[in-house]
Chains A and B, each alone.
Chain A
């Protein structure tokens, strides 16, 4: 019963959120809020997607930028070749991201801790190098993108992208929430706590890690796919920028990874702070603030915002106090 009423509340909140986003795009004239809001939504999607592997399974992925860049360039290549619509670009990016997640997972998920993280950094560098030498998508110099005409009911492309990213956020959260409440979530939690004990208790650890890596990869790539249309430009060093990895990781950890709401809160907090700073002071200060907040949280609230809010999640995430 309880579970069911939770579900109803969740989907009601989702409906309210999407309706609010949609009506905002119809009412608000100024494009800037959408321009800034898109970035925040994108970070929510990234942080939630990251936490499926990094939080639930405890495998710290430093290759968010690899999956993000793959999403961007899948969209670019597809658009360049066929002029495919945005939805198709995003779906294709998700498929490529999932495939990449499977391949990478097979190669690296037998490694533990820091070794896995280092392997994922290497992955980003390899793929970036590949794209830099791929002339069809502009190579190292990057490529300009001509946006197609916007589809109704939207009157500007940025507003449409804002709505699309909001849908991607909802998809990411719904999947993360499903995993958290399912058998898969319990298995991931078990293997994060103790992989051998989990395996000896019947948990197919390698398969669950692969599933987590594929889903996480698909969602990150999907979230990255609209970025080229958003910027009307793509180049390897920004698409594969390490700051995506650092941000996704920092936002998830600051929010807390024991519950899907954690990365959402972390991304909203950090994302909006960054946007505010970029306008009021300078975009360079962003990184400094990110670093300071991460340090503060690691020292003061190792289980993130949700650890501060709900002692139960502190307990779930392994704290003793």
Chain B
């Protein structure tokens, strides 16, 4: 049996509420994410998925509630300090550093978030790129990449932060089905390395194949949380997606 410390959740989101003016994007969200878990986050457009991960990664601060990571309350920390503690993310619409090469994009994370010697950095960056199947593009300008390469580079850049928690925000949007499989395989293999992954996705086969647990948001509230098959079978989830 594991000790109590090992069983403590990696990420604890407690009673999180975030409003924009009169609109409540997140309404009293509480969820614990276990170490090493592959966690799927679904919900219709505008249900608060991105707002939730913005609150986790620090791009937004909640009005109410707390985010606890590795036992430390990080609710008030700016994003770069969360990155250094091991929270990395990709963006729904890729946000590469356009004036840099692919390799340099990764070097930013290695330089600032992951502690390590400068000499080894380039090697580490290259090994991440090789993992992601981008090694041949290392010297390419990041604004010459194709959509799928851009998605992979976002994940690679997040990996350069040496994360404990990786948040993937619709990394597969706009990809062909073979490309979806490619990215999904990458994410699953990262999950096998003890990296906890939160995946936001609309492609249901991907969510079903990837997730150990799925959470469905609708209008800022959790409407279902549990095993993928259970959540898919949930009547409220089906209603949220298909309409009543």
- Does B141 contact A194, Cβ atoms closer than 8 Å? no
Q: Which of A184-206 contact B (CB under 8 A)?
A: 186-187, 189-190, 192-194, 196-206
In the assembled complex, how far is the CB of residue A143 from the closest CB belonging to chain B, in whole angstroms? Answer: 45
Report chain A residues within 8 Å CB of B83: 199-202
Report chain A residues within 8 Å CB of B91: 196-197
- Decide if A258 is an interface residue (CB 8 Å cutoff): yes
- Does A183 contact B112, Cβ atoms closer than 8 Å? yes
- Does B89 contact A200, Cβ atoms closer than 8 Å? yes
- Does B107 contact A186, Cβ atoms closer than 8 Å? yes
Distance in angstroms between the alpha carbons of A201 and B163 in the assembled complex: 10
B59, closest chain A residue (CB): A196
Distance in angstroms between the alpha carbons of A200 and B84 in the assembled complex: 9
Per-position binary interface string of chain B over residues 114-133, scored 1 when its CB falls under 8 Å from any chain A CB and 0 otherwise: 10000000000000000000
9-residue interface stretch from B18-26, B98-106, B201-209, B219-227: B98-106
- Decide if A320 is an interface residue (CB 8 Å cutoff): yes
Distance in angstroms between the alpha carbons of A257 and B107 in the assembled complex: 21
Report chain B residues within 8 Å CB of A29: none
- Does B113 contact A201, Cβ atoms closer than 8 Å? yes
Known contacts A199-B80, A203-B80, A315-B141, A189 near B109 by CB under 8 Å: no
Distance in angstroms between the alpha carbons of A30 and B84 in the assembled complex: 60
- Decide if A318 is an interface residue (CB 8 Å cutoff): yes
- Does A194 contact B97, Cβ atoms closer than 8 Å? yes
Report chain A residues within 8 Å CB of B95: 194, 196-197
- Decide if A316 is an interface residue (CB 8 Å cutoff): yes
Known contacts A315-B141, A320-B143, A198 near B99 by CB under 8 Å: no
Q: Which of A160-199 contact B (CB under 8 A)?
A: 183, 186-187, 189-190, 192-194, 196-199
Most buried by B among A186, A202, A204, A317: A202
In the assembled complex, how far is the CB of residue A84 from the closest CB belonging to chain B, in whole angstroms? Answer: 41
Q: Which of A139-171 contact B (CB under 8 A)?
A: none
- Does B112 contact A193, Cβ atoms closer than 8 Å? no
In the assembled complex, how far is the CB of residue B1 from the closest CB belonging to chain A, in whole angstroms? Answer: 36
Identify 23 residue pairs between A and B in the complex whose beta-carbon atoms are under 8 Å apart, listed by A's number.
A183-B111, A186-B108, A187-B111, A190-B108, A193-B96, A193-B99, A194-B96, A194-B98, A196-B95, A198-B97, A199-B58, A200-B88, A201-B157, A202-B80, A202-B84, A202-B109, A202-B161, A203-B112, A204-B80, A315-B99, A316-B99, A318-B143, A320-B143
* Chain B contact residues, CB within 8 Å of chain A: 57-59, 78-80, 83-84, 88-89, 91, 95-100, 104, 107-109, 111-114, 141, 143-144, 157-158, 160-161
**15 new A-B pairs (CB below 8 Å) besides A196-B59, A198-B97, A201-B158?**
A183-B111, A183-B112, A186-B104, A187-B111, A190-B100, A193-B99, A199-B79, A200-B57, A201-B113, A202-B108, A202-B113, A203-B80, A203-B112, A258-B99, A318-B143
